[in-house]
Structure 1
Amino acid sequence: MNITFRQCVSDDIYTLQNFSYRTFNETYINMNTSSNMKAYLEEAFDVNKLRGELADSNSLFYFLYADGELAGYLKLNESAAQTDINDLQSIEIERIYIANEFQGKGLGGVLINKAIDIAKMRKKSYLWLGVWEKNDKAILFYKKNGFEEIGTHSFFMGDEEQTDLIMRKIL
């Protein structure tokens, strides 16, 4: 499989929005109410919000292509763009998604390695992320990739407050 990355730019806004909707739905549609999913998707992946995130120098988006097809993406945050922690020595993995048809092919690990490479290049001490406490598959994946639980924070899915585990990987 030929794997390539491309950093997202403003012209990618609709591709990013559509792929974000799709992969988020694939991951969480069966675990949340349709009204909460709709509310979250409309807020989190609003075109103007995404446009602002793409323009923020503290946030980076990367598309992952497998044999020329968009297979996944990664969103990284530094300093003030982070959703929590806000440690200058860290990079947050805010989003890491692989489309269903590409799961089980090692691409999640490829995205983690991309995040590690960027963090090391930027001389960061660790990566961190938040993962829903009920997403056992993702938690196991992060543990296999050297992340350990260091705390929790709240995450709102529509009107439902959920608990995310905060996990860290020391570099």
Structure 2
Amino acid sequence: MTTPAYRDARGGDAAAVAALARRTFTDTFGHLYAPADLALFLDRHTADAWAAEISDPAYAVRLVEADGAIVAYAKLGPPSLPFTPEHGAVELRQLYVLSAFHGGGVAQALMDWTIATARARGAAALYLSVFIDNHRARRFYARYGFEEVGPYTFMVGTHEDEDIVMRLAL
């Protein structure tokens, strides 16, 4: 396995990022959902949707490549959570790493990039949501200083999950 390389996403990456988004979500959470609910959720991760976000300056997407394939990504964008954040807040929309790359510093590098990018954009705060039972991710975010704000209902198809909204003052 080669050393991971980091770069910003480009329009031509959309199909590969969409496939990775579907794979990492399914690998991490797929066992929790009925196949129909999972399929409804995954249908949102299209190459066209990713291409639109990659080309939109309101978003920033960082990729990690190893052995010629994208193995992780982080997506920063405008707040989408159902609450009113302070002016200038941004949201870490997604941060996913293939399990073969867990524990190797990839998630830390992506989080460092996310925080630095949010600060460079002048954001006052960085928000994210995390599945309530994803204790590993919650500990990871807490190490960076994120604090719990409150619950959030995250829909996977017609299935309601409880997520926790977390905030980091920048």
TM range (shorter): 0.7 to 0.9
- Farther off after superposition, 111-120 or 49-58: 49-58
Q: Within 5 Å, give how 1:45-56 maps onto structure 2.
A: 45-56=45-56
Checking the alignment, whether the CA contact within 8 Å between 2:8 and 2:61 is kept in structure 1 is yes
Map of 2:137 onto structure 1: 138
Map of 1:76 onto structure 2: 76
Map of 1:61 onto structure 2: 61
Checking the alignment, whether the CA contact within 8 Å between 1:63 and 1:73 is kept in structure 2 is yes
Map of 1:10 onto structure 2: 11
Checking the alignment, whether the CA contact within 8 Å between 1:155 and 1:163 is kept in structure 2 is yes
Map of 1:148 onto structure 2: 147
For residue 33 of structure 1, what is the amino acid of its counterpart? A
For residue 7 of structure 2, what is the amino acid of its counterpart? R
* Per-residue deviation, residues 11-66 of structure 1 (Å, max 9, x unmatched): 111111111111111111122222211110012x0233223222322111110235
Quote how far apart the aligned CAs of 1:3 are: 4.3
Quote how far apart the aligned CAs of 1:106 are: 2.0
For residue 22 of structure 2, what is the amino acid of its counterpart? Y
Listed as ranges, the gaps of 5+ residues in structure 2 are none
* Per-residue deviation, residues 121-161 of structure 1 (Å, max 9, x unmatched): 11222211011112222112111222110122221100012
Checking the alignment, whether the CA contact within 8 Å between 1:92 and 1:129 is kept in structure 2 is yes
Measured in 1, the distance between the counterparts of 2:112 and 2:69 equals 19
> TM-score, normalization: structure 1?
0.88
> Structure 1 stretches (4+) deviating beyond 6 angstroms?
none
Checking the alignment, whether the CA contact within 8 Å between 2:40 and 2:157 is kept in structure 1 is yes
Q: Would you say 1:165 and 2:164 are equivalent positions?
A: yes
Checking the alignment, whether the CA contact within 8 Å between 2:15 and 2:46 is kept in structure 1 is no
Checking the alignment, whether the CA contact within 8 Å between 2:87 and 2:124 is kept in structure 1 is no
For residue 166 of structure 2, what is the amino acid of its counterpart? M
Listed as ranges, the gaps of 5+ residues in structure 1 are none
> TM-score, normalization: structure 2?
0.88
